[in-house]
Amino acid sequence: MDKFYEALSLFRRRKYDLCIDKCTEILDKQPLDQAAWCLKMRAMTQRVYVDDIETEDAFESDFFDTNIVATAPRPGTSLKINTASTSENPFSARPRALTGRPLTGVVRPGTQKRPGSSLEALGTARPFTSQSSRTIRLGTAAMLSQKDGPFIQFSNFNINKYAGKPCLSKPLFEYLFYHEGDMRNAMELAIQANQHCESKDWWWKVQLAKCYDTLNLIRKAEEQLHSAVKLQHHVEIFIRLNRIYSKLDQPLSALNICKAGLEIFPNDVTLLIEMARLYENLDNSSMSVKFYRSAVIEDAINTESIACIGMYHFYNNQPELALRYYRRVLAMGAHSAELYNNLGLCCLFSQQLDLTLSCFQRALDLASDPLIKAEVWYNLSHTAIAAGDLELAVLCLNISLSADTNHASALNNLAVLHHKMGRTNLARSYFLSAKTLENDMIEVNANLEYLQNK
């Protein structure tokens, strides 16, 4: 069998390591074989590829951010203010993570990155070895690689030569962006390729926007994306524009972009979920769950939508309905500490006490993060309180604090339990500790005011 055909077959079957080895054998005999060189580059990229749209993290604050945000924006027009305290019933507001995002039933894609990707260390220095040859032109010298050195010799790299070859420039850009994390060369390649195609290729405009976004040049990325959407209507462009406006704290503009995308791509699941997330961050739960339901109608196995609908019913005093949705997620094969924790809470509040402790036990077995263990023990304390065992509840809260010393809700509940046991001074000290961690926590302020007026 032809070695290149075998390597191509391995690539299609996603056996990237074997494909790389086969391409290396071809390049050892024919160092200037562009087809094998390109295929090896694609395999190395796919091996560490991550969907950079789903792995974007919304930074709460940036020291070098020059985008000025109003200190007192109008309600419903900003993602950077805590709207939970301004709702009609603040005590029924959903809990939020330290980043301000409402807690849902699932781990959002933007909260984790795949280990091993160079996106985690963009801009870090990397030593390169150089190789020169008088008999090989500058444009092809970069294709030669040492066995123990880098795959591409950037010291001899002629970007302009490859920018005019679409069959090589696009895989090369993805290799530079995803595998090497070399923003400088990747952006230079995108700029020159965009010039070669006379700014008529929307794909290169999107790649330029990705580079600008990575370098925190938000306005330049916005210009490239608006230019790209005029050339081609693509879901990715609308999603990236939505993320750009979210970073600029313009949720209404982001919603308008998603609505414009839905007019072109009706009932697209990705755009529906983007709108649901935006409404969720704006604390508009009814609109959020409406779009999540629309997403489930189009994609019946969308885990995030099902879990968020379940969370909506849980916080609207419908634990039985929430339990049905979480059981659906469990039936689809999802097994995580967060899921079993939510199942345990639904069983507790729907009076299915025989399943509550087993769900929490399973959650503790799966929890590897101390913060998740702290949340599970915090919820177990509610089970002990429901059973009337206050000493067990205190023990659960102490274990929760040992896993996460900054758990203000655990400190508040621990103070309440000590106050019920007659330990007023100890309760006051716990309330003050919780207030130090979260000064705006409504429960802590109300309890301290109660102690002072007593």
Q: Which of 12, 32, 47 is the last residue of a domain?
A: 47
Instruction: Express each pLDDT in 41-61 by its tens digit.
Output: 899 999 988 887 776 554 444
For tokens 């069983």, name the residue.
Answer: 347
Closest to 36 measured CA to CA, from 143, 132, 139: 143
CA-CA distances (angstroms) from residue 402 to 18, 174, 268, 357, 386? 46, 44, 45, 21, 23
Query: Does residue 206 lie in a domain region?
Result: no
Cα–Cα distance for residue pair 373/381, rounded to 1 Å: 12
Instruction: Express each pLDDT in 217-249 by its tens digit.
Output: 999 999 999 999 999 999 999 999 999 999 888
Query: Does residue 373 lie in a domain region?
Result: yes
Closest to 233 measured CA to CA, from 196, 268, 198: 268
Cα–Cα distance for residue pair 208/57, rounded to 1 Å: 19
Domain that holds residue 31: 1-47
Average pLDDT on 129-155 reads 44
SS3 96: strand
Q: What pLDDT score was predicted for residue 66?
A: 54
DSSP code string of 415-426: HHHHHHTT-HHH
**311 contact partners, CB below 8 Å, separation of at least 6:** 94, 103, 104, 105, 322, 342
**402 contact partners, CB below 8 Å, separation of at least 6:** none
Q: What pLDDT score was predicted for residue 161?
A: 80
Average pLDDT on 193-200 reads 89
Query: Does residue 39 lie in a domain region?
Result: yes
Asked whether the beta carbons of 248 and 70 are under 8 A apart, the reply is: no
Query: Does residue 179 lie in a domain region?
Result: no
Taking 60 as the threshold, does the pLDDT of residue 192 lie above it?
yes
Q: Please give the backbone phi and psi of residue 102, each rounded to the nearest 5 degrees, phi first.
A: -60, 140
Taking 70 as the threshold, does the pLDDT of residue 183 lie above it?
yes
CA-CA distances (angstroms) from residue 184 to 42, 58, 92? 20, 23, 49
Helices (H), 126-176: 138-141, 159-163, 166-174
- Determine the residue type at 167: C
Instruction: Express each pLDDT in 57-74 by its tens digit.
Output: 544 444 445 555 555 566
Number of structural domains the chain divides into = 2
Could you tell me the end-to-end alpha-carbon distance of the chain, in angstroms, rounded to an integer?
A: 87
What integer best gives the mean pLDDT of the chain? Answer: 80
Query: Does residue 12 lie in a domain region?
Result: yes
Structural tokens at position 336? 């995580």
Q: Please give the backbone phi and psi of residue 30, each rounded to the nearest 5 degrees, phi first.
A: -130, 85
Q: Which of 47, 65, 85 is the last residue of a domain?
A: 47
Asked whether the beta carbons of 356 and 383 are under 8 A apart, the reply is: yes
Instruction: Express each pLDDT in 280-338 by its tens digit.
Output: 999 899 999 999 999 999 999 999 999 999 999 999 999 999 999 999 999 998 888 99
Cα–Cα distance for residue pair 241/226, rounded to 1 Å: 8
Cα–Cα distance for residue pair 396/398, rounded to 1 Å: 5
Flag whether the pTM goes above 0.85.
no
For tokens 């301000």, name the residue.
Answer: 100
Query: Does residue 10 lie in a domain region?
Result: yes
Query: Does residue 6 lie in a domain region?
Result: yes
Cα–Cα distance for residue pair 75/271, rounded to 1 Å: 24
Structural tokens at position 126? 């990397």
Query: Does residue 327 lie in a domain region?
Result: no
**255 contact partners, CB below 8 Å, separation of at least 6:** 275, 278, 279
CATH number assigned to the domain comprising residue 410: 1.25.40.10
Q: How many CA atoms lie within 13 A of 144 on its CB side?
A: 14
Cα–Cα distance for residue pair 424/427, rounded to 1 Å: 5
b/e 358-396 (16+ beta carbons within 10 angstroms → b): ebbebbbebbeeeebbbbbbbbbbbbbbeeeeeeebbeb
> Binning pLDDT at 50, 70 and 90, where does residue 101 land?
very low
Asked whether the beta carbons of 305 and 106 are under 8 A apart, the reply is: no
